[in-house]
Structures are given as C-alpha cells and as structure tokens.
Amino acid sequence: MIGDAVERSLRSPQVLISVGELLSNAAGSRMPDVQPDLLTGEVARRVVAACPTSALKIDEAAGREYLVLNYGDCIACSRCIAAGSGAFRYAEKVARCGVSKAALVRRWDIQSRTEVVENEPALSQAAEQIRALVGRALNIRQVDAGSCNGCEAEIVALTNPYYDLERFGIHFVASPKHADMLLVTGPVTRNMAAALKNAYDAVPSPKLVVAVGACGCSGGIFGGSHAVVGPVDAVIPVDGYIPGCPPTPSMLLTGIVQVLRPFSSPSRRRWS
Amino acid sequence: MTETVPHHEAGVSRALDLLRSANARLVSIFGSTDSGNTDDNRVRRVHYLIDVNGREYRMFTSPVTGPIPSATPITPAAAWYERELHDQYGIACAGHPDPRPLLFHENWPENVHPMIDDTSHVPWIDNDNGGQYRFLKVQGDGVCEVPVGPIHAGIIEPGHFRFSVVGDTVLHLELRHFYTHKGTEKLFENTPLMDGVMIAESVSGDNCFSHAVAYCQAIENAFSISVPPRAQAIRLIGLELERMMAHIADVGALCGDVGFSVPAAYTARLKESLLQASTRFFGTRFWRGIAVPGGLTRDLSSAETGEFGGRVTAAARDFAQMARLILHTSSVQNRFESTGILTAEIARQLAVVGPVARASGIRLDVRRDHPSGRYRNINVDVPQYKYGDVLARARIRIDETAISRNLINETLKELPAGSVLVPVPLSGNAEALSAVESPRGELLYWVRIRDGKITRCHIKSPSFQNWPALPLAMPGNIIADFPLINKSFNLSYSGCDR
C-alpha cells in the first residue's frame, strides 16, 4: 500500500514553481498597485477616503501633493481598487517584501503622475553577518505572536511541493536555539509578548527577525485593541518586513530571500 | 426567537430551566451593555442562546444587577462562557466551580473588564504582575508534570498544555489558552456595518470565508434583506470549498503526525491546487474580501464554471483515492484506531459541535438543522461515526470532502442568473443572529446595530466550544499521541481566543 502511495506521488505531475515565477509574485494577495498615468488628485482623495486602515495618505511637501501607500498598513481589502477608477489594480508583483519599514512605503507625485523612487535604506548589520555565516542554509523558527492564523496557513504552504522551501536550504526548526531567523506573525498580544521576548532571547546571535503580515508590520486592524501591545517591533528588534493580509507564499519567500540576499560576490551562486 | 425578561432572576432561571431539559443544547452565553435604547445604555445584560430540539435557536436575555446563578453545574458546556462573561463584563456567576480568569493572563489587572471599563490606562508591563495561574495539581507516586507551549514545535498557533503523566501515560491534561486574545469583540464596537466584515475575516484566518458569511448574514437578517440567489449559490461554493481545503489539509496533517509523509505531501499539493483555483477564478487564495453585507464583490462568469468545477472534481478525486490508501494502511490504522476517544456522553455534556461531534455519534450540522441561504433549498448528507477516536474524526473529514464536492458541482450546474449584490441600509437599529457550519462546526454571530454601526458583536466559535473536550480525550493515551489527537480535533486557537 505504501508502495502505491509513493508510486502515485511519483506519477503525479511536476508542480514546482520556478524561482523566476515565484519572486515577488503577489497573485491572489489582493494587494494594490498604482497605474501612475491614471492618477489624479480626485482619485487620490477618493482612495484615501476609502482606505479603512490609513494605508493610503496624501502628503504635501513644497507645494506638491504626493500619494503615499504604506504596504505595512494595507489589509488587502481592495477598496482602493474599487474606488480608484482604474488607477488602482491588483498587484501582480509586490517587491517590497523583506525590506526595511521605510521601504514598505511608496510615493507618487500626483501632479507629474510618477513614482518617487528612493534608495532603499541599508539592511541591518545582523543581516550582513548572517549572510556571511549561513551561506545557503537558513534555519527559521516561526513564532505566532497573536495572528489570526492566515499567515500560518501561508507559511505552512511554503513547504508544499509547489514552493518547496527546502530547495533553497531553508528549514523550519522546532527550537529558537537552533534558529538563525525568527519569522513572527500577528499583532503581539499582551498574552504573547513575554513568550515572544523569551524566544528572541533564546536565538543565538547574530539573529534576524522578520515581521510578517499587516499585523506583524503595523498591528493591522488589531493595532488599537486593548489586548494588543503592537506590531512585532514594539517588542523585539525587526530586520525585515513582509506585508500582506496574508502575504502569499511567493511574497514570504521573496521576503526571506531578500533579507538574506547573498553578497554580490561572483563566486557565490545566486537564487535568481 | 428572543425573549426579554425584565427581572434578571426570572430570565436567568427560565434559561436554566430550559437547559435542564433533555432537548436543549447550550449554544452560547454572552453579555452586552447596550439594549438599543439610550436610557438603558450601560446596563449589563446576559444572553443565553439555546438550541431546542436541534431545530430552533432560542435566546433569553435579561438585565443583570448582581451575581447570577451559574449554569455550569447544569451543563458543563457553560464553564468557559461564564468565565468569559466575568472577564469581559464583571458579571459573577455564583456556584461556578472554576472562576479563574480566562481571557487575560497575569499581565492584566484584576477588576478591569474591557467591555464596560476604560482600558486606556492599562499599560503593557514587561513582566507579569507576580500572579501565578493555578493549574490543577495531580499528586502521587511517579506523577510528573510536562508543560508544553505557548510556543510549539512547528508552524502552529500558541497555547499552553499542562500534562500530568506517569511514565508515558497521561493522567490529566489542562489547557491554558487565550495567548492570541486580541479583544476582537470589543473592536467591533462602533464599526460601520460594511467594515465589520474585515474584522470577521481576521478572527480565524483559515476559516475566513465562514466568518465573513456568518457576519454578513447577521447584518442581512437584521434588516430582512434577501441576498440574490446567485450570491447565495456562490457563497455555498465558497463555504464548501473552504471545508474541502480544511479537511484535505487535516487528513494530510494526521498522516504527517504518524510519519506517513507521502500522503502528507500529496494532500498539501491538493490543497494548494484549490487555493490556486481560487486565485484564478476569484482573485483571492482564501476568499477574503468576497463576501460583503448584501452579497458578494465578485461573480463567476458562466464560461469559467466548467473549468472551476473541473479543478474541484480533480482534487476531490485524487484525495478520495489517497484517502482509500491511507485507511487501508495498517500502520495508520494502528495509530488512528482507539486513539483519543471522546465519548458521546462527554461530547454531549460539553455541547461539542462540528466534525468532532459527528465523529462521537452526535449528528449536528447547521447546514441541515438551521439552514440559511442556498442551504434552505437543498439536502445535506450528515455523516456520523460513533467511536469518537482519531480514525472516526479522519473518516468524517474524508466523507465530508466528497459531500462538499457534490454540493459544489450541483450548485455550479444550476447557478442562478442575476446580480450578486443588493444594497444594505447603512442606518437604523436592529439585532440579529446568524449561523453557518464552518469547517470546524457551528459558527454563530450575534450583532446589535445602532445608527448603522455595530454596538455589539458576539462570536460563538466552534473552537471555543470544542477545546474543553480535548483534555477529556487524553487520559490513558500516551503523551506521544497528543499531537495526533490534537490534530484530529484541529481547533483554531485564534478563533477560540478572539
């Protein structure tokens, strides 16, 4: 019988998704993207009014108006897409995964209808040290600090045969003492804050922390609750942020790889 | 059907009298402060929701001025509800055998009840305030305590399990949960009707569509809105697809827990194929943002129904073949059979719901007993097993996956024409109840609306109901079988903790 199972599995079609297709792929995440050529002041005001979490804002600087989209606050409700008259659409790719908190924010100059591209702030020192140390092997301890389990469902999916995280040398481990990285989901609840700190302290240095999901990045819709302390970085230091509600497995993988991106040394094999 | 009784003694005692009768099942006990009448605001009320004869929800509600008699001695299923009632509203239940705090741990001050008190002054303190939770101590020669969690090995939600063991054998298990308590019911207060669905979707992410539909139906019931037949049909498809994905993943995870990794990987693949079908046809992996009060934000074009149905059928067929293999593997039978038995008597006393109840010989299913939407027009088969072990819970999920596939295909064949959304009044005062059968069982939303905003939303989650039953399936089993038994219940921590 077990032989039949193995045989059936071997006969089933290859479903592994190639690295090129995976990276930044946001299909099914419902995250928004902006078509800058259709952006107007009126559209901007409408989407800002529609956004339930203030992920969208209008900034004024030096007499110019900028539309600001903070992916870390976005719960992917898609109201901006409904209200945006074509200027907003479902993102096919979200590259802002595994980046600094500042890099979760995108800005568009409304008058000139162009995106303001800023240099990405440097990653933390721990990231550099870990990259040098781990090469292509990374041990991750996942900690749910209060999530709704949507992010967990997607993190579990990373290990299925479509995404096969292990092909990158990335493993989930049972103990924080074996981990290089904590992958933390959820708004940190009062009841989990102490356990999260303990887990962080148990990870040997140098260590990385990646905050996952709208709740992990910003507190999400739970940010104002009496039972919630705040986003992950309210309790422990965070090196990279992966937005989404929940982020798709592709976005999670992109974020993990991004934080860990190998040095530009030509001797090192690259993932992409 | 709601009965409001002006004097609390009378209202509570009528609810308790009904609970004493054999044909009553406790569904929920919860509090509120706002009766929909300004003068009455801030008066605390208690609500008892009871299923009578398995066909009718009855609610008793009455104002509360002092302690009320506990329902727990009559039905142990009331124990957690009354502890929550005290934590949220400060309503004491006299005669409760276990009045320890439930929602908050040592970091929360005593006598601050978030549903009635101002919580803005409660700071988060780094370490607890010195209090110690009292676990039941099991004493005797060779008895050891094994604490597990809140953080577990693997990608799982947090919760604490305290085992008392002799050797490998478990004598007693005590749960301590609510690590993911997010004050969700409080967050609903003053939320506009259309925004509440976003909170509902984040109560238990893997059952987000069930929560969204339950919330939306409550709003629709409050204003007596009937959702277009096409939207009802697509909601049914989403609910059944969510059930299929949950059941397929659960059976695979059970195999993973007995070291049978081929079916574990295979079922993970099947679940992913359904998530990708959802992405392809509905633009969302977990059906987030699809249900809204009044209907749906998304339709399925007639050209797509065939291909979508084909993908569902293919996944269900592959799963059925794999399931036969799993059930015929002797090492699986050896581990599943007679492991973690939940007897029908205990299941009944704790008012257990969902696949766990059906595996213990209790045939309950909201789709059949309290149908709403499209379920009113169809017959749903409700499978049942009587052994209450891991095998029975696996079999229930295998059978129900096939039933869900049939429901989806039949619905796709007769998809009504028309729109999928009707407008909902955004003002007005109302109260209403709605129930759906989520993959984990009876999920119920009760909402009170004033001036187009939610002033109270109570969520009866199947996980909150079923968690207290898990420890009673453990004694006599070895501790190494706990992950398997726990997985066979597959309860949501976030859905329970809210």
What are the helix (H) ranges across B258-352? 261-282, 302-327, 330-336, 344-349
Both B199 and B72 in one domain: the answer is no
Tokens 């903070």 belong to A70
Q: Which residues of A touch B438 (CB under 8 A)?
A: none
Both B103 and B203 in one domain: the answer is no
Domains of chain B: total: 2
Tell whether B276 is covered by a domain: yes
Domain boundaries, chain A: 22-93+103-116, 125-260
Topology (CATH) of A22-93+103-116: Alpha-Beta Plaits (3.30.70)
Enclosing H/E stretch for B82: helix B79-89
Residue B333: the pLDDT is 93
Residue B126: the pLDDT is 61
8 A C-beta contact, residue A152 and residue A214: no
Tell whether B219 is covered by a domain: yes
Instruction: Quickly list DSSP for B4-62.
Output: E-SSHHHHHHHHHHHHHSTTEEEEEEEEES--SSGGGTT--EEEEEEEETTTEEEEEEE
Topology (CATH) of A125-260: Rossmann fold (3.40.50)
Residue A265: the pLDDT is 41
What percentage of residues in chain A have a pLDDT greater than 90? Answer: 56
B266, A29: Cβ pair inside 8 Å? Answer: no
Both B127 and B199 in one domain: the answer is no
Residue A128: the pLDDT is 62
Residues whose CB is less than 8 angstroms from the CB of residue B158 and which lie 6 or more positions away in sequence, other chains included: A143, A144, A145, A146, A192, A195, B149, B150, B151, B152, B179, B180, B493
Both B212 and B85 in one domain: the answer is no
CA B376 to chain centre: 21
Residue A232: the pLDDT is 96
- The Cα B461–Cα B372 span in angstroms is 18
- The answer on pLDDT for A147 being more than 50 is yes
Both B91 and B209 in one domain: the answer is no
Residue A2: the pLDDT is 66
CB atoms within 10 A of CB B199: 25
- The 10s digit of each residue's pLDDT in A184-210 is 999 999 999 999 999 999 999 888 999
Residue B43: the pLDDT is 84
Residue A270: the pLDDT is 46
Residue B135: the pLDDT is 87
Both B309 and B422 in one domain: the answer is yes
Residue A269: the pLDDT is 45
Residue A272: the pLDDT is 40
Tell whether B162 is covered by a domain: no
Q: Which residues of B touch A151 (CB under 8 A)?
A: 205
- The Cα B260–Cα B252 span in angstroms is 9
**Partner residue facing A194 (CB), from B128, B184, B271:** B128
Q: Which residues of B touch A215 (CB under 8 A)?
A: 202
**Partner residue facing B127 (CB), from A15, A194, A221:** A194
For residue A264, the distance in angstroms to the closest alpha carbon of chain B comes to 32
Tell whether B301 is covered by a domain: yes
**Regions of chain B short of the pLDDT cut 70:** 1-9, 34-41, 125-131
- The 10s digit of each residue's pLDDT in A51-108 is 999 999 999 888 899 999 999 999 999 999 999 889 999 999 888 888 888 889 999 9
A227, B203: Cβ pair inside 8 Å? Answer: no
Which CATH number belongs to the domain containing residue B242 in this structure? 1.10.645.10
Both B209 and B337 in one domain: the answer is yes
B493, A149: Cβ pair inside 8 Å? Answer: yes
Residue B134: the pLDDT is 84
- The 10s digit of each residue's pLDDT in B90-102 is 999 999 999 889 9
**Partner residue facing B205 (CB), from A27, A150, A199:** A150
Both B278 and B355 in one domain: the answer is yes
Residue B40: the pLDDT is 54
For residue A246, the distance in angstroms to the closest alpha carbon of chain B comes to 9
Q: Residue A169: left if φ>0, alpha if ψ -120 to 50, beta else—which one?
A: left
Residue B310: the pLDDT is 94
Tell whether B142 is covered by a domain: no
CA B26 to chain centre: 14
- The Cα B297–Cα A223 span in angstroms is 26
Q: Which of A36, A72, A35, A31 is nearest to A54 (CA)?
A: A72
For residue B319, the distance in angstroms to the closest alpha carbon of chain A comes to 12
Residue A263: the pLDDT is 36
Both B215 and B326 in one domain: the answer is yes
Both B452 and B370 in one domain: the answer is yes
Q: Residue B373: left if φ>0, alpha if ψ -120 to 50, beta else—which one?
A: left
CA B399 to chain centre: 20
B158, A222: Cβ pair inside 8 Å? Answer: no
Domain that holds residue B242: 184-470+480-486
B265, A9: Cβ pair inside 8 Å? Answer: yes
How many helices and strands in chain B, by DSSP H and E?
Answer: 16, 15
Tell whether B83 is covered by a domain: yes
Q: Which residue of A has its CA nearest to B159?
A: A192
Residue B225: the pLDDT is 92
